[in-house]
Amino acid sequence: MKLGAIEGGGTKFVCGIGNADGHLLDSISIPTTTPEQTLGHVMQYFAQFEVQSIGFGSFGPVETDSTKSSYGQILNTPKPHWSGFPMLSYLKTQLQMPIIINTDVNMAALGEATWGAAVGHDSCLYMTVGTGIGAGAIMNGEIIQGFSHSEMGHLLIRKHHEDSFKGNCPFHMDCLEGLAAGPAIEARSGRKGALLDREDALWEMEAYYLAQALINIAFVLTPEKVIMGGGVMKQKQLFPYIREQVKHLMQDYLELPEDWIVPPELGDFSALKGALALARMNV
């Protein structure tokens, strides 16, 4: 049985073919431009294969409630040309196969829960820290879904006492994403995070913000495993800083599981493999 997978991001769409065991047989990367051009390339790719179902993890905000007529539509995004675009229905008119959609971070959480760092656990959180910050959660083996998908990147957190940066979220200024995403690091320091020294004090400030978010999420969801990925988290020195800040901020109020905060075991393929797992559910 062949399954299709799509990880749709603001910079690129990654499409793949795999099997029900999570093994990727083929994949391709497509630059994200206009909806029609990008999805045209996506459809050309899948037209080469016979697949039984496609799982789609999309950048957000996207409508993930399958009972709504707007299911699969991109909602209010600053990305030009994409707001309001009926992405799922557009694909379905061209690809005669079942397609199910959710967010890219939910797919990353599902991928890590199915084949990665959270195997053997009933719950996990996947947080990506890059150009933006997003998180998806699995509870009792199911993706958390309320009236919308979660937007944990916009948690409101306390500012560090030494941080004069106002934040750059266009909606909330100094929310988690406004203070700790890649563009915030660059705006605060004048350099991209990858060019900062590993020992730069800004990494401890970054860890302070991310640790606050994890503490808040722990109090609400108590996930058994926290997986942190994305471009910023490739700075491996962040992991010990975050663990230290989490311990300090928690003040022993909750006893956290051992090895609670870890990098993704699936590397850059967490979301794509999660999309395979989603496709498997739809067969």
How confident is the model over 29-66, as pLDDT tens digits?
999 999 999 999 999 999 999 999 999 999 989 999 99
How many Cα neighbours within 13 Å face the side chain of 244? 11
Distances (CA, A) of 269 to 66, 131, 141: 25, 17, 20
pLDDT (0 to 100) of residue 147: 84
- Model pLDDT, residue 183: 95
Residue 108: strand pairing partners:
none
- Per-residue confidence (pLDDT) for residue 214, from 0 to 100: 98
List the structure tokens of 160: 């560090």
Could you tell me the pTM of the whole model?
0.95
Domain co-membership, 274 together with 258: no
97 and 212 in a single domain? The answer is no
Question: Which candidate, 59, 56, 5, places its Cα nearest to that of 32?
Answer: 59
Q: Do 83 and 140 belong together in one domain?
A: no
Range of the domain at 272: 3-107+268-281
Assess whether 128 and 100 both reside in one domain: no
Residue 160 lies in a domain: yes
Burial class (CB in 10 A: 0-12, 13-18, 19+), 161: exposed
Show Cβ contacts of residue 196 under 8 Å, excluding neighbours closer than 6 positions.
Answer: 185, 189, 202, 203
Of the chain, the percentage scoring pLDDT greater than 70 comes to 100
Same domain, 126 and 150: yes
The Cα–Cα gap between 121 and 187 comes to 38
Count helices and strands in the chain by DSSP H and E runs: 8, 10
Residues 227, 273 within the same domain? no
CA atoms of 161 and 72, how far apart (whole Å): 41
- Number of structural domains the chain divides into: 2
Q: What is the CATH number of the domain that holds 192?
A: 3.30.420.40
> Rounded to whole angstroms, how far apart are CA atoms 142 and 162?
40
Predicted local distance difference test score (pLDDT) of residue 196: 85
First-to-last C-alpha distance (Å) of the chain: 10
114 falls within a domain: no
User: Is 132 found in the same domain as 80?
Assistant: no
Give 51's contacts (C-beta < 8 A, 6+ positions apart). 2, 3, 4, 17, 97, 279
258 and 275, same domain (yes or no): no
Q: Of 96 and 177, which is predicted with more confidence? A: 177
In a domain, 113, yes or no: no
Asked if 250 and 243 count as a contact pair (C-beta separation under 8 A), the reply is no
Question: Which element (helix H / strand E) includes 246?
Answer: helix 238-250
Please compute the mean of the pLDDT values over residues 167-187 and round it to a whole number.
95
Residue 73's CB is within 10 A of a number of other CB atoms, namely 20
151 shares a domain with 65? no
Together in a domain, 130 and 100: no
Q: What DSSP element (H or E) covers 42? A: helix 35-46
Asked, for residue 112, whether it belongs to a domain, the answer is: no
Task: Assess if residue 216 is contained within a domain.
Answer: yes
Does residue 89 fall inside a structural domain? yes
Indicate whether 102 and 200 sit together in one domain: no
pLDDT of residue 104: 96
Using DSSP's 3-state secondary structure scheme, residue 114 falls into helix
My answer on whether 275 and 157 are in the same domain is no
pLDDT at 230: 95
Contact 138, 124 (CB under 8 A): yes
**Rounded percentage of the chain residues whose pLDDT exceeds 90:** 87
Is 167 a member of any domain? yes
Residue 254 lies in a domain: yes
